[in-house]
Every structure is written in structure tokens, then in C-alpha cells.
Amino acid sequence: MSSISAIKSLIDPILTKHDVLCYECKWTNEGKMRILQVAIMRNDGSMDLDTCQLVSNDVSEVLDVNDLISFEYYLEVCSAGAERELRSDAEIAGVIGANIFVRFEKPVDKKLDVTGELLSFEDGVLVVAYRDKQKKVKITVEKSNITLIRLAVAL
């Protein structure tokens, strides 16, 4: 399969033109169909279908013109998702004030996970406020004790 880094180099100017970031670019398979999936988002984490379509049209054109991919494939340009995983310190710091879901490796306050508002993230330590029955509780957890952290849609 064609190199993801080569594909990213080709599509970076398109992403810049549309003022979006590449959250993920990867090859997937659905049956025998190969899919080039490009997940995008704006700096604030949002996305809309019109922008996905515009980016898809431009990416498709540049990939066809450069003939980088020598086999049949399907291009899927999509949103990074409302409940996307937060993969770096910068992504975590960028969502302070947002609702998140956090799963712990070792229990914290007898809990293996919480869903709540990220209050702060400093020096590898997160503070999350969540509801425990009728009261709001704060929990502090080391990033090293987290096995998964993602955005959570507020109920």
C-alpha cells in the first residue's frame, strides 16, 4: 500500500487551504475494498459535512493527478468524531472545560473510570469534576494511570 507519509505530504496543502487539521490518516479494509480514511477537524475540534466534502474533492483530485496509489481504493474524508480519543498532552490541554471519559489502569477513589468535566491538566496530572449521585466531586489522576481518555458527549 502507498505510504501514509507520502499521502500526508500531498494533502497537507489542501488541509491548510481549508483550515483543518489531520487527526488521522490510515488505510483500512472493508471486505476486499481498501479505504483511505482521512479524519479531519478544525482547531476547535469541530467539523461539518460541507467542509468534509470540499476537502474530499480536493484530496481526490490531488491523489488522482499525482497517481501515487496504484490500486483501486475508496477515499473517506470524515470528522475526527465527537468522542475522539485524546492522544497527546496538547490534545488534552486543548479540551480543558470539555466533557471527557477517562479509564484508569488502577482504581482511583475506588473507580475504574469517570465521565466529567476536565478542570485542569498540569504536569501530567488531570483534575476531573464528575457527578456522584447528587453531588459534584473532583478526582485527581496521574496521566500515567490512564489507559483511555476521550471526549464525551454531554447528556
pLDDT digits (tens, 9 = 90+) for 143-154: 999 999 999 987
**Which 8-state DSSP code applies to residue 154?**
-
The residue ranges of every structural domain in the chain are 4-79, 89-151
- Portion of the chain with pLDDT greater than 70, in percent: 98
Does the pLDDT value for residue 1 go beyond 80?
Answer: no
pLDDT digits (tens, 9 = 90+) for 25-62: 999 999 999 999 999 999 888 899 999 999 999 999 99
Residue 126: CB atoms within 10 A of its CB come to 21
Q: What are phi and psi of 19, to 5 degrees?
A: 55, 45
What's the Rg (C-alpha) of the chain?
A: 19
In this prediction, residues 84-111 reach a mean pLDDT of 94
CA distance 62 to 12: 11
- Residue 124 makes CB contacts below 8 A (sequence gap 6+) with 89, 142, 143, 144
Calculate the average pLDDT of the chain: 93
- Position 154 scores a pLDDT of 74
Diameter over CA atoms, the chain? 59
User: Tell me: domain 4-79, CATH 3.20.20.105, correct?
Assistant: no
**pLDDT band for position 87 (cuts 50, 70, 90):** very high
- Residue 28 makes CB contacts below 8 A (sequence gap 6+) with 34, 35, 37
In this prediction, residues 126-141 reach a mean pLDDT of 93
**pLDDT band for position 5 (cuts 50, 70, 90):** very high
Supply the CATH classification number for the domain 89-151: 2.30.30.180
Residue scoring higher pLDDT (107 or 134): 107
- Position 64 scores a pLDDT of 92
**pLDDT band for position 136 (cuts 50, 70, 90):** very high
CA distance 96 to 90: 11
Torsion, Cα 43 46 148 145, to 10 degrees, reads: 40
Q: What are phi and psi of 152, to 5 degrees?
A: -130, 135
